[in-house]
Structure formats: structure tokens, C-alpha cells
Amino acid sequence: VEFARGKAIEERDAPADTVLGMVKERIEGMEPEARRILRAASIFGQSFTTSGIMSLVGGETVANEIGEWLVTLEQREVVTRRGEHGPGDVEFTFRHALVRDAAYAMLTDHDRVLGHRLAAEHLEQRGMGDGAILAEHFERAGAPERAAPFWAESAKVALEAGDFDAALGRADRGLSSGVTGNVAAGLELTRGEALRLSGKVAESLPVVERALSGFDRGSLGWCNAAAERALILQRLARNLELVQAADELERV
């Protein structure tokens, strides 16, 4: 019988928190090693790899043992193998989101914070995961200053893909960390460009001007912000300020 969608749970039509509690009870009835692996896997989200599990629990559980327990969990229909993620590295996914949520809820606050930091460092070292995923891990690890550069990177990716809402949301997440300097200026510049491209031209001007003041005068970031400001001034027909901006660029 599949682990998370047994007929008993479906027929009871129980509230979500009650169903989550039932799944937690099933996990608590498993062997300690299986519980540890599921808790570690839940840090990564719905999908995870054997190398990811090793980065979290490898000090006490060797790779072979992790692989054996994942095979057992696959046979119990708790997880599903998705294929090779790299040499000797297998990717799995939870069969049901409720199983992942239940395992994640079983983590202590300390283990959750530590787990997200280790997961972020593992993914960063391996070049796996996009900027938004790394930013989420560092943020949940209580390290917003390490998350901010990845929010900036992922905001630019969203902007280039034409997803202006995502670009704005990610830039806001980065700025909320209290980051300063060039990273903050870059986040403001991405926000301003996303606002302009989404039709909020007047609203984008003060944002880009904050970016301009945050970069070192004459740097590449400053020049990019100056160019964006010029586009906005042109769209707003503020010709005198546009000429003044051109004069300043010429002096630089």
C-alpha cells in the first residue's frame, strides 16, 4: 500500500493538520536510520540526491548505508528514484508532498537551521540549484547576508526571462536582508528595470536613482544605472534632466 495515500487517510477526509499528524506517526514508527535520512532529505525540498543526504548525515552514516536505506524507502513507496544526477549520485523525490512536510516538521529548530546551511554550501560547491534555491537555504539558515547575492543573481535571471513579478519579488527579498554596497545597488537597479519594463515608468525613477547613488561613480554598475535612468527620463519626456545626465556621463 502506498505510504502517503492509503485509503484510510483518503476516506477519513481529515483536516490537513490531522493528515500530517498521521504521516508523522508513520515516520516515527520507522527505524532511526530511515527517520534520519527522511529528515535530512526534507531539507532539500521535494527532490534530493544521495550526495545531498551525505553532506548532512555523512559523519555518522556512510554512503553505502544511505544508498541501502534509500532503496528500502523506495521499496516501501516512500520515495521514487528519478535517475543519475552525476557519477555515483542518484536523485530521488518524495512520493507525496505530505511525507516531505511531515519529515520537515520533525526537525528541531537547531537541526533545521544547520541543515539549510549545509544544504546551501553543498549545492553551491557542486554548482547545483539556481540562485533562488540557494538564497532560500541561506535565508532559512539565518544568514541573510549570504542569501542577498543569490537573490540578486536570481532576480537578474527572472528579469532576462521577462518574469518581472519574480524579478521584483526576488529583489525585494534581497533588499529586506539589510544588505548594503554594490549588492544593494544591483538589487535596486534590477527592481528599477523591472518596474520600467512592466509599465511603471514613473515609479522606477527613484529606485534607479538609489541604485545610481549606491555604485561608485564611473564604475560599470554606475554606468548601467545611468543608462537605465536615461531611458526612464526619455520615456517621461524630462528632456532637461536627460541633457544634464548626458553632460555628467561625458565628464565621467
Please give the radius of gyration of the chain, using alpha carbons only, rounded to the nearest integer. Answer: 24
pLDDT on residue 8: 43
- Residue 238 is placed in which grid cell? 524630462
Angle at 117 between CA 85 and CA 24, to 5 degrees: 80
User: What does the alpha-carbon distance between residue 200 and residue 226 come to, in Å, rounded to a whole number?
Assistant: 18
pLDDT on residue 134: 95
Give the 3-state secondary structure of residue 110: helix
Chunked into runs of 10 residues, the chain (252 residues) has average pLDDT values of 48 63 88 94 95 83 83 94 82 94 95 96 87 95 94 96 97 93 96 97 97 95 96 96 92 90
pLDDT on residue 9: 46
In the numeric block, the cell 539558515 is attached to 141
